[in-house]
Structure 1
Amino acid sequence: MAVKKRAFISFDYDNDSTVKMYLAGQAKNPDSPFEFKDNSVSAHLTGDWEQKVRRRMDNIDVVIVLCGTQTHTAKGVAAELKIAKELGKKYFLLAAYPEKACTKPTTAAADDKVYKWTWPNLKLLIAGNR
């Protein structure tokens, strides 16, 4: 069996927590190519919270940025994506809702595509097909 990728899920805690649980649940599927390693900060961390996020990202392979309808206003998601880029982590943006306009974090590149969330698509994205 192939080694599963360790994923960090960045999401808007105030608006997309339920959808994040669905994504983390998919990691439990027998044919899942990833395991849920860590996720966005759910509460305000004391001290240098960005350094704490950096430590959480140390042992991950990919950052999944879950994009909801208000992600463009989520400062934590923007900071997490910025940290992922600084650490050279692979990442992709995933639409949290199929029938809604999902927005990118402010630190996303203009050419970063928001991918449709389907199980086959997620497996391809985890494998690096983007």
Structure 2
Amino acid sequence: MSKTRVFVSFDYDHDETLKTFLVGQAKHDDSPFFLSDWSIKEPISGDWKSRAESRIRAIDVMAVICGQHTHTATGVSAEIEIAQKVATPYFLLKGYSNLDCTKPTAALSSDKVYNWTWDNLKRLIGGAR
């Protein structure tokens, strides 16, 4: 069985450690997904959105890690808007169990923020959302 291709959207300024945790989970023997580093590390300018769109079109699902400042992360909202535009499914993960986490501004009011557990992650990547 092939593994699901996952793009990770996260607040680069505040939550890069959370992305590292997700990369570690992708390395588990029973992981149903893999991550490539599709992050665009330059400032949002020029053809950034077109490069992000080509990367988002190439994946199966986008995991959006929500932290305390995600509502201010313009890049995360832009990536969600692209996913919505190209009909790539996405889900929101609560990055911190002990802190308030915010939704990106582009998230729909109906988008649920899921607790980040290994079992939840596997189900969400498998389409249970």
Alignment TM-score > 0.5, same fold: yes
| Contact 1:78/1:105, CA 8 A, preserved across alignment | yes
Query: What is the one-letter code of the residue matched to 2:20?
Result: M
Q: Mapping of 1:1-130 within 5 angstroms? A: 2-44=1-43, 47-130=46-129
- Asked if 2 retains the 8 angstrom alpha-carbon contact of 1:93 and 1:113, the reply is yes
CA contact (8 A) 1:40 1:77 kept: no
1:45: Cα distance to partner?
Answer: 5.7
TM-score in terms of structure 1 length: 0.94
Separation in 2, partners of 1:38, 1:59: 13
The count of aligned residue pairs is 129
Whole-Å separation in 1 of the counterparts to 2:123 and 2:38: 21
- Runs of 4+ displaced beyond 6 Å: none
List alignment gaps of at least 5 residues for structure 1.
none
Counterpart contact for 1:37–1:60, Cα < 8 Å: no
Letter paired with 1:112: D
Q: Which residues of structure 2 form unaligned runs of 5+? A: none
Matches of 2:84 and 2:57 in 1, distance apart?
12
110-119 vs 37-46, greater mean Cα deviation: 37-46
Asked whether the 8 Å contact 2:26–2:35 carries over to 1, the reply is: yes
Q: CA RMSD in A?
A: 1.2
**CA distances 1:18-73 after superposition (whole Å, capped 9, x unpaired):** 11100111111110011003444222265211001011112100000000000000
CA distance in 1, matches of 2:65, 2:46: 26
